[in-house]
């Protein structure tokens, strides 16, 4: 794991995650990171208990509703003995295979990939499988084959990349399993992977290619993104 502080979610984003303020796509990426990163998991537990402990003080908004009448209705409902749904929810897919590698996925990503992944070759040894998680973001698994290089690109919005296996490098450094990387609109980068790399990425707007032939795709890319969003909403 990269020890660089940049490769973990900030306290601010963790607090938003705990309070349910993030998009589903981002929440899924954070859930997966917490399964892989012990120190963030501990940090998360601390932040969560402090949010829970200050819950009462933070509750300034008061409802005009009188809830008292609800109690009678609720206590007439049967209680349940066991949460069978958690067993049923277990995903049959926990691993994905690429070429001769197989990767074990964090639970939440296994669940998200449950319907099966359709891989598309993007050229340069890059493979992409989109996952339909929400209407605000575009979520995808990216597999970079050993020796692959993505075209130089920058982001209009933000891109969160969670490394699941292997490693990749760009101008800023090398990233390994469990690293949580945030790229904003300003950054231009050209990731390369010598040993191959599986990532989960969450984009809140399309990627813009900055060099060479792939630039031709930019208008199409943007169109596709808008179309996906339109179909989902």
Partner 1 sequence: MEVADQSLCTLKDRDSDEALLIATGNSQDTEAFNRLFQRYSSRIFALGMKITRNEQLSNDLVQETMLNVWRKARLYDLDRGSAQGWIFTTARNRCFDMLRKLKRQPQCVTADDIWPQQGDVDLEPVHEEQGSLVAESAIIASYCEQLPGLQKAVIEQIYILDRTHEEAAVALDIPLGTLKSRLRLGLSKLKLLIGVDQ
Which of 11, 102, 104, 232 lies at the binding interface for partner 1 (CB under 8 A)?
232
Give the number of other CB atoms < 10 A from CB of residue 24. 15
Dihedral of the CA atoms 91, 92, 98, 99 (nearest 10)?
Answer: 170
CB of 175 to partner 1, least distance (A): 23
CB of 225 to partner 1, least distance (A): 17
Q: What is residue 213's three-state secondary structure?
A: helix
Sole residue written with tokens 């197989």: 102
Q: Of 133-141, 145-153, 172-180, 188-196, which segment contacts partner 1 by CB under 8 A? A: 133-141
Q: How far apart are CA 36 and CA 7, in angstroms?
A: 13
CB of 224 to partner 1, least distance (A): 18
CB of 107 to partner 1, least distance (A): 7
Which of 5, 12, 67, 213 lies at the binding interface for partner 1 (CB under 8 A)?
67
Which of 3, 12, 56, 92 lies at the binding interface for partner 1 (CB under 8 A)?
56
Dihedral of the CA atoms 191, 194, 200, 206 (nearest 10)?
Answer: 30
Q: Of 24-32, 141-149, 172-180, 213-221, which segment contacts partner 1 by CB under 8 A? A: 24-32
Which of 3, 5, 12, 79 lies at the binding interface for partner 1 (CB under 8 A)?
79
CB of 38 to partner 1, least distance (A): 13
Give 26-95 as a 3 state SS string: HHHHHHHHHHHCHHHHHHHHHHHHHHHHCCCCCCCCCCCCCCHHHHHHHHCCCCCCCCHHHHHHCCCCCE
Q: Which residues pair with 47 in a beta bridge?
A: none
Dihedral of the CA atoms 95, 180, 225, 184 (nearest 10)?
Answer: -170
Contacts with partner 1 by CB under 8 A: the residue count is 51
Which of 20, 92, 212, 219 lies at the binding interface for partner 1 (CB under 8 A)?
20
CB of 93 to partner 1, least distance (A): 12
Q: Tell me which residues touch partner 1 (CB under 8 A).
A: 18-21, 24, 27-28, 31, 48-49, 51-53, 55-56, 58-65, 67, 70-71, 74-75, 77-83, 85-86, 89, 107-108, 111-112, 114-115, 131-135, 232-233
């Amino acid at each position: 794991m990269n020890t660089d502080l940049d490769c973990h979610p900030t306290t601010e984003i963790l607090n938003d995650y705990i309070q349910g303020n993030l998009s589903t796509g981002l929440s899924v990426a954070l859930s997966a990171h917490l399964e892989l990163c012990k120190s963030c998991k501990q940090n998360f537990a601390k932040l969560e208990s402090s949010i829970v402990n200050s819950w009462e003080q933070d509750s300034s908004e008061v409802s005009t509703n009188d809830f008292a009448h609800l109690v009678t209705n609720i206590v007439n409902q049967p209680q349940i003995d066991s949460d069978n749904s958690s067993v049923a929810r277990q995903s049959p897919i926990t691993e994905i295979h690429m070429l001769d590698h197989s990767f074990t996925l964090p639970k939440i990503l296994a669940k998200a990939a449950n319907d099966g992944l359709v891989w598309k070759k993007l050229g340069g040894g890059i493979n992409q499988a989109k996952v339909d998680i929400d209407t605000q973001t575009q979520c995808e698994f990216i597999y970079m084959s050993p020796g692959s290089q993505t075209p130089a690109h920058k982001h209009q919005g933000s891109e969160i990349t969670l490394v699941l296996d292997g490693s990749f490098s760009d101008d800023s450094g090398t990233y390994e399993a469990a690293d949580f990387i945030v790229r904003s609109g300003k950054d231009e980068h050209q990731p390369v992977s010598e040993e191959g790399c599986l990532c989960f990425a969450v984009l809140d707007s399309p990627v813009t290619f900055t060099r060479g032939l792939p630039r031709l795709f930019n208008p199409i890319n943007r169109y596709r993104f808008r179309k996906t969003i339109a179909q989902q909403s």
